[in-house]
């Protein structure tokens, strides 16, 4: 069914997945808005350096401006852009998505909420994932999470298990472990719990994950963020689904225990690369670009207000990241005191 595949948004995550899919021999087109990255892939292929191997493959790399003249229709599109780009990118690719084609947002937020209304929920398959990577040099990606530690959870938005999920599972299995779930919203919310604790918090403090979990005042903030996110999800009627390949038994514990499991899982997945991993928000600061904070902690805060659940810790993270973006603060460890002050006791 899915003969022609596109990766739309070839940043660190998209490129890492694209390299594995291309290496597996699938008919793949890589589309991105970074001209130098596309040109580097056209000239020299795509290189992905993983702790245990290096992948160097030829890819069909295409600039956004050239897609209209491709006269190509895709059966499967893996959308891996920043969350703030997902709406316009979905509208952009919609004319090139087959009538029975599928778009899978491989992104950090609840992007299906705004992607599905554009293309129709029947053409949107949800995905939660764990994969760390970074790209600063065109055509060259550092993938921090090895394949056996990479995880994808996929599911239909309506919760039924369909044959196309099995096919997507087979395609993505070249990039990591793939789980099919009948509760993709619960899996994505669990990923949101994890993301709320590590992405913007570690970025605003200029810390790597292994550093953050060893500093008590940082660890306590992370746990509080996760606790708030769990509370908002519960108020919205979300039943948390195990992620990262964990079992249902591992999630059959208290809220705080689940939060701590999700926080420490990152260190386990990074393994020996933990001391070199820079989180995505810290990468964004280093690149001088927007972060996804408003689509993670900010989203939780907005949904918390709708559900009547206070989220002072998430509000504090949003505020600090806004100050960093405005140049009033720098991403450094001293921001933890400001976070605790803003969040209250």
How many degrees, rounded to 5, is the angle at CA 282 between CA 276 and CA 287?
A: 105
Say if residue 249's pLDDT is above 70. Answer: yes
Mean pLDDT of 149-154: 95
Considering the domain architecture, whether residues 230 and 264 belong to the same structural domain is answered as yes
For residue 270, pLDDT over 60 is answered with no
Q: Is 140 found in the same domain as 56?
A: yes
Same domain, 204 and 261: yes
pLDDT for position 31: 98
pLDDT top residue among 166 and 280: 166
176 and 191 together in one domain: no
Q: Which of 142, 163, 182 is the last residue of a domain?
A: 182
Lowest mean pLDDT among 85-89, 245-249, 341-345: 245-249
Query: What's the whole-model pTM score?
Result: 0.94
Q: Which strands make up the sheet holding 27-32, listed edge to edge?
A: 60-63, 27-32, 4-8, 74-79, 97-105
Question: Residues 300-314: what's their mean pLDDT?
Answer: 98
Same domain, 177 and 208: no
Q: What is the CATH number of the domain that holds 25?
A: 3.40.50.720
Domain that holds residue 96: 4-182
Instruction: Say what the pLDDT of residue 74 is.
Output: 98
- pLDDT value at 321 more than 60: yes
pLDDT-derived band at 273, boundaries 50, 70, 90:
low
- Selected residue with higher pLDDT from 258 and 324: 324
What CA–CA distance (Å, rounded) separates 261 from 230? 13
Q: What does the pLDDT average to over 98-103?
A: 97
Of 182, 211, 241, the one marking the end of a domain is 182
Q: Looking at the structure, tell me whether residues 288 and 177 fall in a common domain.
A: no
The 3-class SS string of 272-323 reads HHCCCCCCHHHHHHHHCCCCCHHHCHHHHHHHHHHHCCCCHHHHHHHHHHHH
- Tell me, yes or no, whether 161 and 213 share the same domain: no
How far apart CA 109 and CA 259 sit, in angstroms, is 18
* pLDDT tens column, 42-76: 999 999 999 889 999 999 999 999 999 999 999 99
Mean pLDDT of the chain: 93
In this prediction, residue 345 carries a pLDDT of: 65
Dmax (CA) of the chain: 58
Model pLDDT for residues 111-126, shown as the tens digit of each residue: 999 999 999 999 999 9
Which pair of structure tokens corresponds to residue 263?
């926080």
Higher confidence at residue 148 or residue 39? 39
How many structural domains are present in the chain?
Answer: 2
Instruction: Provide the b/e sequence for 11-42 (b: ≥16 CB within 10 Å).
Output: bbbbbbbbbbbbbeebebbbbbbeeebbebbb
Mean pLDDT of 6-35: 98
**What is the predicted pLDDT for the residue at 271?**
55
Query: 155 and 227: one domain?
Result: no
23/270: higher pLDDT: 23
Tens of pLDDT, residue by residue over 196-217, are: 999 999 999 998 777 777 888 9
Tell whether 236 and 223 lie within a shared domain: yes
CATH code for the domain of 330? 1.10.1040.10
**Percent of the chain scoring above 70 in pLDDT:** 97
Last residue of a domain, one of 182, 215, 246: 182
- Whether residue 267 is predicted with pLDDT greater than 70 in this model: the reply is no
Given 3-state DSSP classes, what are the helix, strand and coil percentages for the chain, each rounded to the nearest 5?
Answer: 50, 20, 30
Residue 266 has pLDDT above 70, yes or no: no
| Same domain, residue pair 112 and 134 | yes
Band of the pLDDT at 142, cuts 50, 70, 90? very high
Q: Are residues 298 and 334 in the same domain?
A: yes
Same structural domain, 153 and 196: no
Confidence at residue 272, expressed as pLDDT on a 0 to 100 scale: 57
């Amino acid at each position: 069914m899915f003969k022609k595949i596109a990766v739309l948004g070839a940043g660190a995550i998209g490129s890492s997945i694209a390299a594995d899919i291309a290496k597996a021999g699938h008919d793949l087109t890589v589309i991105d808005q970074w001209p130098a990255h596309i040109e580097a892939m056209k000239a020299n292929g795509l290189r992905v350096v993983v702790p245990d191997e290096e992948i160097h493959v030829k890819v069909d790399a295409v600039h956004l401006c050239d897609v209209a003249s491709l006269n190509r229709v895709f059966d499967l599109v893996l959308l891996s852009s920043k969350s703030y780009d997902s709406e316009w990118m979905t509208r952009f690719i919609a004319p090139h998505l087959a009538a029975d084609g599928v778009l899978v947002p491989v992104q950090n937020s609840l992007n299906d909420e705004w992607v599905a209304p554009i293309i129709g929920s029947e053409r949107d398959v949800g995905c939660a994932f764990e994969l760390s990577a970074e790209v600063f040099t065109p055509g060259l990606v550092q993938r921090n999470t090895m394949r056996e530690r990479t995880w994808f959870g996929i599911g239909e938005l309506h919760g039924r298990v369909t044959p196309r999920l099995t096919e997507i599972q087979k395609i993505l299995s070249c990039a990591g472990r793939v789980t099919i779930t009948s509760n993709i919203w619960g899996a994505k919310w669990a990923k949101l719990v994890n993301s709320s604790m590590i992405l913007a918090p570690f970025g605003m403090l200029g810390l790597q994950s292994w550093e953050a979990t060893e500093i008590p005042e940082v660890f306590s903030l992370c746990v509080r963020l996760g606790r708030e996110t769990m509370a908002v999800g519960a108020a919205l009627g979300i039943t948390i689904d195990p992620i990262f390949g964990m079992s249902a038994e591992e999630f059959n514990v208290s809220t705080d225990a689940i939060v701590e499991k999700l926080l420490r899982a990152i260190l386990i997945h990074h393994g020996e690369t933990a001391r070199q991993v820079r989180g995505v928000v810290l990468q964004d600061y280093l690149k001088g670009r927007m972060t996804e904070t408003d689509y993670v902690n900010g989203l939780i805060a907005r949904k918390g207000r709708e559900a009547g659940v206070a989220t002072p810790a998430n509000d504090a993270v949003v505020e600090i990241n806004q100050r960093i973006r405005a140049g009033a603060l720098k991403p450094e460890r001293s921001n933890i005191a400001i976070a605790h002050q803003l969040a209250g006791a």
